[in-house]
Structures are given as structure tokens and as C-alpha cells.
Chains A and B, each alone.
Chain A
């Protein structure tokens, strides 16, 4: 370039150098600062290299993130979270593999588009990813991808700024995309985007890459006129430019020019030079330059050397690759970069060099099990490499121990990519190598042809033949037949196409398929000609389908007869009667009522033919069929089935029960005959115990003391404990010990003893029992721990400090229970109850010192604030702050101030600089407010957290709306709607739905679009009366006290008003009554109610108050009154809460009051709005009957409901869990037995599995694992009731302390863990119970199975680990739980 003399160039560049030296940019670019920390040497501007490091990607992302955080915290939240998610996914991929797979980028792109209007940061991230991070795509495809993203996002409204144009330029450079820089600039101008220095630099690179020095210098000149600094990047580009223009001399000269301009050539410049020489194949100069760099204090990274390798091989000089490879130092970051280059080389069809680099990778081969080469092989398959070459590569990888089974892996890739020819060739190679070729290898290929491509299928089948692989039944049924119109034609078509199927397997497969197609002729002839035994169970499903699809009764009968009589089919136990009977039942059961009605005559024929053939069925199965026919309204058929009943057999399970009187006479007889009577005595005592006849049982024990056995004592002890008889139970326990000091009682009986002894002041005896529990290693279940809590809490409420302390100490030090917050709460409660706040605080702190828990700190703080105990508050805060951190302390204080109505103080706390939202704690307080209906407190919480950093405003408003809904306050709800708009909060769908519900419930118009329809419910309009100032004052006092839940103050104000004979508003009384009831001040509440009723005409409590009243009455055992209140409420057309009604029904059931329950059932009949399930009645009526010793009636009723098919409740919703749990908990053992037998019978004979599954789950739930296991063994179908089991998992995981229950369930039914609902529930439960060890095991199990885990799961696990101070083995999902919960929800709504 003669016109480009050195001096002129230097002159041109000098001012630029000066600018740079003078530090034109006062502040280092952010990318530089970030890079400084990430790589060993900073590079101010990314160079136009092939490889883009992940650090750079991250730097750009981080830069944009910072910008984002300067925006107001509530704006773009959604975009921000979407952005973080995308960034995390892409960054993870680059970090691990040096690249982004196309599918991942596509996914992130699509998901970004779905958010509506992608933010500018997301656009940048996506564009950035379209260059060298996509080595698996060829260069043109990458640029096309970038353009696609560019256009799509623009359409979606993304506004591009200069950073986007620069990103696009970068992608062009990396992809060697040919474009016109002038046009590019014109395009920017059109979009009114000002180019900046980076734009110019990249345009210079673009010119230089094609050797256009003239173009480059034009831009340079332009930069000069604009006084823009010229950096090393420009010089490096010029090196490339001159080299590509064929002028190596000037390329080399640039370095001198740089020095003259005051810029020392850095690694980027040398790299440009190295690449230039490499492109010319000039190994000598490359070596010289490398030596020069080595001698300088500069340093080239492995990544740079990889680029030189790429330049050599791309330019056609692969022979020099090894020399450069020798110089690689294998830095830590090397592997991902090498992987990227290897893939790129394969894409560029330079696979030999790729292999060379791969084989040089320093991979640990210790365990001989590495499969590092997989990514390479996979990409080779994708790029359609010739099979010979692939096979050769496989051999080389195997020799180099880079892959344990390369051929198999490559085959897998070929099969996944449906490359049939390649797959077949690979299988041949496998066979030649002596590896087995298995049937299922061909399945993916068959799947690929399942669009009726007969030729394709025949080709695969022939291929199998060639390789000597016989298709099995599964192959035919699952992968061949589906492609044909009929199974019959398969054989013919296959033969036509020159494929002769191996006869036996094929016919068996045909049979199974023909059965489904209703071809009974075929089945009959097959069964007749078949030689080998065939179990009916494996045929049953197919046969039934076949029967229903044919209607040839003669064939039905013939086949049935054959099954019944032929030695090949049903002769194994339980024999043909049972097997065929069961088959008939299943047949009828599988038909719908209309089907049976339509085919009545044919069925009759069928039964008569069977009768002729002398086919018999057992009576119990007949009953099942009868019930079915009854429910189908074809009772006329019953008599026809009845013909088949085998008369002589009786159900052996129907044993006669002996009564206590019978037993007693037997006992006396045995005694008289001087025979051993221990057994009968024990049975008798057990019966008396179940009849709660303590006196008689004790008398018998006295009388026959010498015949007493351990079991009898155990039952007696329990009985006495139930009857609160401490003396006698202690005596019995001593006698029990004397009889056999090593005998062990059931856990619940020990607990009963502890309870009754502690209650009656026999503290030391109680502790001794606890010690014995430890010594004898009694099984401690969750329920046991809960019982301990109740014992302690009972003592605390009675104010027995010593009892609480000593029992707690014993329980914890013996290790019977972990010192949880829950079980330690009574230690504090006992002082709170006494009003001794100093001691309460001490007790809480003491718990922290001993057990690292802080029970009831919120309550303690509230009390301290109420009493104004400044010093103690200070002490508490100092302690919390020191032990749990300042943030926790601030939240504790904030909530306590809110709770006590000190809003100003609360405000000050939440405005502390640096405080940020803690979603779980906020949610906890919201729930608390909702549960106790503290409207003002919650309103204040929402108001005060408005500016709180990272506060989920939508969630806060959602909580508020929930409370307004409870109170039916639509005006306030409407105000929330406006406030949310003001605050710029974007409501989630559920918030809008809730708001709509509230408005509709009050007959208000909904100002936005929500699809569902709601029943109308008239709002309670309360008439307000004119009032005088004093009235308003006392009334205000009452209301205010009500709002802050100071029931005593409120009540005192009421008394004051009463003395002045001031009458309040209806609503005020209702509020007061509600508050008093919620504080369990029943008497006071009744007093207020009486006053209101006598002073306001027609005063009635509203729904909510009546519900509370019922609950309070239930708690006090005033059940009759409660029923009366319910009746009144219902007469006034109120809708009492479901909870209150349920509590009442449950209490009645425990009293055995069947009539009242039935009365309630009548009262609420047709009132769907309460939401009471029919099952509440079914469960509780049964329980009440059982309490009345009418177990058989209960069982019979339930069984009838389930077997007669009366459509009261569908079997799958027929939940008896409550009944089962009560029966087990209350130790109503005879009832439990009968219910269990019933459940099993329903399962075995009627295929109704819900009850037995529920029973099983309740055994698990109450810790009776062994019983559950035995039940499962008897009825294995339980394990298949996946929906029921999963619902149980989900529900159980919502309660704390249930991890052991879920663990035992999974031990019993291990396969359950692979269900997503199951493992997410279990993880939730582990997280809730802080069971790190189990969570770890679960995580490892799942990752070992390659189960794709969702972010929610990972988040939970990560938080659990972090809380336990353990490292998290993956990047913790950065968003909140809420975010992932919503993400999950969304993904479930979208069928993917």
C-alpha cells in the first residue's frame, strides 16, 4: 500500500494515542473493571476473535443488570426476573461446556418472547449469544439466527440502542458475515441511533477482515475528526487488515507504529499477528513471534493458542497443529474452550484436527469410565460424517480411553437423530466387534417410521433379520402394528414385502392385538390350538375389551367355558370358580349402564349358556355383580346371574363375635376345671376395655390376679389413663413390671402414663416412665412428640413451672424428642401465662443458648411492648441481633410494633437503610393477620412495606384482599385495586380473580375481564343509627380496641357504655363478640350478646360471629347449644363457616350422637355454599355409630354406599381418612379391624381401592408402618393408586414434622419417588423439617436417575443446604419461591 506510508499513518494516529494516554475516559469502562477480576489480563475491548469467553458474556449481562437496579424497584420486575433466569441458563451452559446449544438458545428466545415485551437487556443477551458461542452451527446459520432474533424482538416492541447495534456487529465479526459497513451505518442513522467508538472500532475490524485497508482508514479518519480515542483493538484490526491484504511487512510494521503512538502492543496485537502468519502457513514466523512474546512480559492464554491452531487448520496447514498444541499449558479454563473449538472444527469439516485436539485433552482416566468424547461423537453424527470415519474415530477414542463405549454411544446418537442407515451400519460394526445387537436398538427406528411408512418398517425388520435379531412381542405390538390399518393385514403385507415373521412370537402378539380388536373367533381358535399354559390374569384386560367389541354371545360362552374347564388356563389356585367369577364381575363392571341395558338380552343368553355349561361363581362375587346390575337399573338380570352361584360355600371371614358375658362364663368354667385361663381372661379384659368398663375390668384383675398376662395389664393401664386415674395406672404399671420387668408397652400407653402422672403431680413417676421409654428404646413417632407437646403445654397453662421444666428437660436430654421450637414453647408459655415477662424472655433466651431456637419470641416482644418494658426490649433485641443478625431483629421488632398498634415505631424500623424484603417472614405475618382477622394490622403492614426493597407488592395486596374477602368488604377491596394501579403493581391473575370474587359477592361490577361466573350473594346491609358524641367515643374505643385485639380493653369500654346505657351499632357488638370469642372469653361474649339482643330489636350475629360462637361452644362441649346456634343461623339464611360446622359434627361424632349429625345433615341439605362434603357426614356418622358400639352397622352402611353404586359420592372421592385416623388414634381396635377387613374386601372383590388405600395411608400417617406394610402385602394394588398416594404426599408435605411419615411411605412404595409430585412434596417436607441428610439422599437419588429437577425443587434444596451452612453443589436458582411457583404453574397450564 504505497499511498499508506508509515509517516502519514503515524500522523493520522498520533492524536488518538495522545487521547488514550491522557486518559480521555476518566472512568474505566465497566467491562474492564469486571474483566479485571475474572481473567488474568484485562482487555479493554473485546477483540474480533473466534472465541468469546463466558466472562465477557457475563460482564455485559452484569453491566445491564446494574443499570436495571438503578430503576425504581417495582418497575420491570417481571422482565428482570425473566432476564435473570435466561442469564443463568446461558451462563451455566457456557461455563460448563464452552458453548450454548442451539436448542437452549431457542428455548430462552421463545420464553423471552412469551413475556410480551422483552427488555433491552434480554435482547442484548440473546444477540450476544449468536456468535462463537454456537460452534455447532455453521457461520451462516448463526447469523440467520441473530437476524431472526433481531426482527422478532423488534416486532415485539424492543427498542434498540447503540449497544444492540454493537452486539450485532460483534456477531457479524465472529461469524465472518459479509456486509456493507456503510449500509450498516445508514441503518443506524435511519433508526436514529448514534454510533459510538465501539461501533467504529468494529466497523474497522469488518473492513480489515476482508483486507480493505482503504475502508478501514476512512473510518479511522472519521474517528480522528471526532476526537475519538484509538485503542489497541484498532491496531490489532489493522494488523489483520494488512495481512489479509497480502502485506505482511506492513502488518508487522503496525507494531512499530503503535509504539510510536505510545501504545505498547499487547497480547491482542500479537495474537492478530500470529493468526496472520498462521493463515499464511508460516510456522517459522509464528514460532519467532511466540518466542518474542515469551521473552516480553506478555502472556498468551491457551485460548489464544487455540485460535492460532484454528487459523492454521482453516487455512489448510493442519501439519503445524501439533507444534502449537505442545505450547498449551492446560489452564483451568482450557477444557470448555477446547470443546468449543473442537465442535467448531467439526462444523467446519476439519474433524481430523478436532480429534487431534480432543485426544490431547488432559482428562483423568483413572477409573476407566470416562466418556469425555461424547460431545465430539454426537456432533460428528449431527454433521453427517461418513460412517467409516466415525467407526475409526470410535476406535481411536476407545484406545485413548476417552470413551468406554464409543460405538454404542454413536449408535445412540444416530438412533436419536433417526439416521437409519448410519444406525444400521453402526450396528453391523458392533456385531463385527463382538458386541451384542439387541432387539430394542431397533425400536427408535421403528418409532421413526410410525407414520404408516410400511417400506421403512420392512426395511428395519429386514435389517434385524440380517443382523440375526428376532423381533419380540413388544416389538410387534408397540412398534410395528400401530403402523398398520389392521393387525390381520400385517402378516400379509410383511410377506408381500419379502419379510417372513418368526411364527410363534408373531402369533402371540397377534392374539393380544386381536383381542383388543374384538376378533373373538381368532381368540377362540388360538386358545384351543394353543399348547402352552397361559395365565388368565394376563389375558383378562384384552379379553374384556374383545368381548365388548364383539357381541357374539356364543363365542363369549365358548371362550368362558374353555377358560373355566381347560387345564391350561384357570386351574391354579384360587381355581376356576373364583377366577371366572372375577372375570365376569370385571366384564360387567367395565360396561356402562347404557351398555348393559342395551345388551340385556344378550347378557341373559350368555348367563344361561354358562349355566348350561355348568360354570359356577362364588356367592360374594355374585353379590358384587348383583350390586352392579342394580345400579345399572337392570335388576331383571340378577336372577340370571344368580343361577351361577355356587351354593355350598360360605364366606369364612364371617366369624361370630363372642360377648363379654360369653367370655366370662367360659372363664369361670375353665377356672372351675382348673385349666389355664390366661388367654380367655386377657380376651375378656380387652373386651371390657373396649367397652370402657373400668370397674368391672379391675375387679376381674383382682379376682384372677394369678392368671393375668402382660397384654391384659397393658390394656388396663391404658384404660385407667383414659379415665384419668393416676393412682390405679401407677399401681398397674408396677404390677406389670413385677410380672415381667423387660416387657415393653406401646408408645401411646407410655405417653398416656406420662400425661396422667404429670397431671396429678407425680412428676418423678412421670420422669421415670420417660426414662423407661428411653431404656427400652420405645418407638417415638411424630404423634408421640406431639403428645409430649400437649402434656407440656397443659402443664404450662396450669402454671406448673417445675413440671414443664423438668419434663421438658427429661424429654430432651433423654433424646425422646428434638428440642424444637414447638416442644420448647411451653417453657415460655408458662411465664407468659403468669405475666412474668422477665422470666419469659429469660426462658426464650435460655432455649436459644441451649438449643438454638427462640420459641414464642414474637409473643414475648408484643407483651414487652404493651407493658413498655424498654430495658427488656433492649435486652431481647441485643440478643436477637447478636445471635440471628440485625435483619431478623428488625423484623421481629417490626412485627411486634405492628401487632401492638405502634405503627409509628414500626414505620421507623421498616425504613432502616439496607433492610430488604424477606418474603417468608412477611408471608408469615400476613397469614397470622388473616387467621386472626386483624384488618388494621394487615393494612398497616401493606402500607408500611410499600418502599421496602424487593417487596412483592402483588403478594402483599393479595393477602389483604384475602382478608377483605373473609369480611366481605368490597369497598376496601375496590380501594386496593386503585392503590395497586397507583403503585404501578401488575396484579397476578389470582389477585384479579380474588378481587373479582369479592366484588361479585357484593353485587358490584367488576371493572376488568374475568371469565368465571359466580352465584349472587346479597351483601349484609347494616342499618346505622344516629348517634351522640359520647356514644361514638365509647363505641370508637371499643372498635379501636377490637382492631388491635385488646379484648380486655374492648370489653371494659363496653361495660362502661353499658353503665351509661349507651347502645352501639350492630356491627360494633358483632366485632366485640367475635374478638371475645376468638380470645376464648366465652362468658363475656355471651354477656355482650345478651345485652345487644335485649337492646337492639332483631339483633342477630352475622355469619362470621355465629361461626366463631359455634366453634367456641364446641370447644366448651356445649354441643346442644352449638346445634341450636347453627339452626338459627341457617334459618336466617346465613352461611356459617365450613370449619365451624365441621368441628361441630366431629365433636358430635366423638360423643356418638348420630341423631344430631343426621339432623345437621338435613339442615344443611342443599346448601352448597358452606362447601361441606357429603363425606364429612359419612365419616362422622360412621364414627358416631362406632362410638355407640355399632361397628357392624357403620361398616355395612359404608359398604353399601360403595358397592350399590348409589351415586352419592364417586368411589374415587369416597375419602374415609378421617374415620380411619380417628379409629386408629382413639385405639378403637375392633372397629379398626372391621374397617380394614371391609376396605380389603372392597378392594379384592369390587376393585374399589380408595378405602384400602386411605386406610393404608392412615396407618402410615400414625406411624404404624409395620401394619401398613402387612396390609400392602395383602393388597398390592394399593401401590398402584398413584393419584391417591400423590394427593396424600402433597397434603402431608404441607404440615411440618411429617418428613418421617413420607419417608416411611416411600420405603413402603419405593417407586412413588419417581413421580414429580412425590419427590417435590418430599423435598418440601424435608425442607420444612430441616432434614438435610434425607434431602441430600433424595437429591442424589434423583440426579443419579437424571430426573430433570425444576427450579422450585432446586431452590428448596439450596435454601435448606444454605440454612444448614452447607455448600450448594449447583447454582442456586436466584429468584424467590413465589417466582418459581408461578413458573411451575404457568408451565403446567401450557401443555408442552
Chain B
């Protein structure tokens, strides 16, 4: 029981962070389809959003791209400039910082 317990609640230890890029300074001319098109060159896109304000009909200049893997996100980030419609986007990684030390519980090891 204890072993399964450890692997349950307290042992949620699959350390894959969400491969999401935050994109800012999106020009008004660009909607999510163009964003998707641009970022598709770096990998498979799971989700791409750039919410619109229904009161004005314009979006708010930011969006999120969720890739299916960290590697794809890294591809994206390695590209120095992301320019859409002549405007340089601000692309930020939202990967988790590399946590110091081993995150596996000591009580779980030994096999």
C-alpha cells in the first residue's frame, strides 16, 4: 500500500513542463491562424490562441502557443527573431526552471 501511496498523491513526479510559448506584441493584422502558420515551422502545435475583444473587434496583442514537446518549444526559442507582418514578436519560453537537486523522493528509491 505504502509504495502505491508514494506513487500517488505525493509522488506526482513526471517532470514534463508544459511546452508553451507566450507571444506578445502581436500586430493587429495577425490572428491565430497566421500565428499557427508561423509557429508550425518549429513543431506540432496543440493549441494556439490570441483572444479577441468582442467589444472592439480587435485582439489584445498577445497569444499562447502550446507545442507538443519541449524540443519544439526550444526550436522556437532558438530562432532569434520572429517577424510576422513586419513586426518583431516577443516570444517567451514558459518552461519551468531547472530545479536544483533530485526531485525524486528518497523513500521511493532503492530498487
Are B86 and A404 interface neighbours, CB within 8 A? Answer: yes
Q: Could you tell me which residues of chain A, from 1224 to 1240, have a CB within 8 Å of some CB in chain B? A: 1224, 1229-1230, 1232-1237
CB-based nearest B residue for A369: B88
Are A778 and B101 interface neighbours, CB within 8 A? Answer: yes
A1311 within 8 A of B: yes
B100 in complex: contacting residue of A404, A777, A1271, A1308, CB < 8 Å: A777
**A405-B52 CB under 8 A given contacts A686-B107, A710-B109, A1270-B12:** no
> How distant is A726 from chain B, measured CB to nearest CB, in Å?
20
Query: What does the 1/0 interface line of B80-110 toward A look like (CB < 8 Å)?
Result: 0000011110101011110111110111111
CB-based nearest A residue for B32: A440
Q: Could you tell me which residues of chain A, from 274 to 301, have a CB within 8 Å of some CB in chain B? A: none
> How distant is A1285 from chain B, measured CB to nearest CB, in Å?
15
> How distant is A521 from chain B, measured CB to nearest CB, in Å?
29
Q: Could you tell me which residues of chain A, from 1254 to 1275, have a CB within 8 Å of some CB in chain B? A: 1259, 1264-1271, 1273-1274
Chain B residues closer than 8 Å to A1314, beta-carbon distance: 62
> How distant is B49 from chain A, measured CB to nearest CB, in Å?
9
**A1308-B90 CB under 8 A given contacts A447-B56, A1237-B8, A1345-B62:** no
CA distance A779 to B15 in the complex (A): 15
Are B22 and A1310 interface neighbours, CB within 8 A? Answer: yes
B79 within 8 A of A: no
Chain B residues closer than 8 Å to A443, beta-carbon distance: 52, 57-58
Tell me if B's interface is mostly helix, strand, loop or mixed: loop
Chain A residues closer than 8 Å to B29, beta-carbon distance: 405, 408, 412, 438, 441
CA distance A1233 to B8 in the complex (A): 6
CB-based nearest A residue for B88: A369
Chain B residues closer than 8 Å to A445, beta-carbon distance: 57
> How distant is A789 from chain B, measured CB to nearest CB, in Å?
21
> How distant is B107 from chain A, measured CB to nearest CB, in Å?
4
Are A686 and B96 interface neighbours, CB within 8 A? Answer: no
Are A1232 and B106 interface neighbours, CB within 8 A? Answer: no
Chain A residues closer than 8 Å to B11, beta-carbon distance: 1267
Query: What does the 1/0 interface line of B32-66 toward A look like (CB < 8 Å)?
Result: 00100000000000000000101111110110100
> How distant is A335 from chain B, measured CB to nearest CB, in Å?
22
A241 within 8 A of B: no
> How distant is B34 from chain A, measured CB to nearest CB, in Å?
7
A1232 in complex: contacting residue of B10, B14, B95, CB < 8 Å: B10
Chain B residues closer than 8 Å to A1205, beta-carbon distance: none
**A779-B106 CB under 8 A given contacts A445-B57, A683-B3, A1267-B11:** no
Are B6 and A1311 interface neighbours, CB within 8 A? Answer: no
CA distance A687 to B107 in the complex (A): 12
> How distant is A718 from chain B, measured CB to nearest CB, in Å?
9
Are A440 and B106 interface neighbours, CB within 8 A? Answer: no
> How distant is B63 from chain A, measured CB to nearest CB, in Å?
10
Are B110 and A405 interface neighbours, CB within 8 A? Answer: no
Tell me if A's interface is mostly helix, strand, loop or mixed: helix
> How distant is B43 from chain A, measured CB to nearest CB, in Å?
18
A440 in complex: contacting residue of B3, B57, B92, B99, CB < 8 Å: B57
A446 within 8 A of B: yes
Chain B residues closer than 8 Å to A441, beta-carbon distance: 29
Are B6 and A1229 interface neighbours, CB within 8 A? Answer: yes
Chain B residues closer than 8 Å to A479, beta-carbon distance: 54, 57
Are A1233 and B57 interface neighbours, CB within 8 A? Answer: no
CB-based nearest A residue for B92: A1341
> How distant is A115 from chain B, measured CB to nearest CB, in Å?
30
CA distance A880 to B55 in the complex (A): 57
Chain A residues closer than 8 Å to B20, beta-carbon distance: 1310
CA distance A747 to B111 in the complex (A): 21
- 17 A–B contacts, CB within 8 A, in A order: A405-B29, A416-B56, A440-B31, A474-B52, A478-B52, A682-B110, A711-B109, A747-B101, A779-B100, A1230-B2, A1235-B9, A1237-B9, A1268-B12, A1307-B94, A1344-B90, A1345-B61, A1346-B61
What 19 additional pairs, Cβ within 8 angstroms, besides A1267-B9, A1269-B12? A405-B87, A440-B59, A444-B56, A445-B57, A682-B110, A683-B3, A687-B1, A690-B2, A711-B108, A746-B105, A749-B106, A779-B103, A1229-B6, A1229-B10, A1233-B8, A1266-B99, A1273-B16, A1345-B25, A1345-B90
Residues of A within 8 A of B (CB): 369, 404-405, 408, 412, 415-416, 438-441, 443-448, 474, 478-479, 655, 657-658, 678-679, 682-683, 686-687, 690, 709-712, 714-715, 743-747, 749, 776-780, 1224, 1229-1230, 1232-1237, 1259, 1264-1271, 1273-1274, 1304, 1307-1308, 1310-1311, 1314, 1341, 1344-1346
Q: Which 10 A-B pairs give the minimum distances between C-beta atoms?
A: A709-B110, A1270-B12, A1236-B9, A443-B57, A444-B57, A1233-B9, A686-B2, A1310-B94, A714-B106, A1233-B8
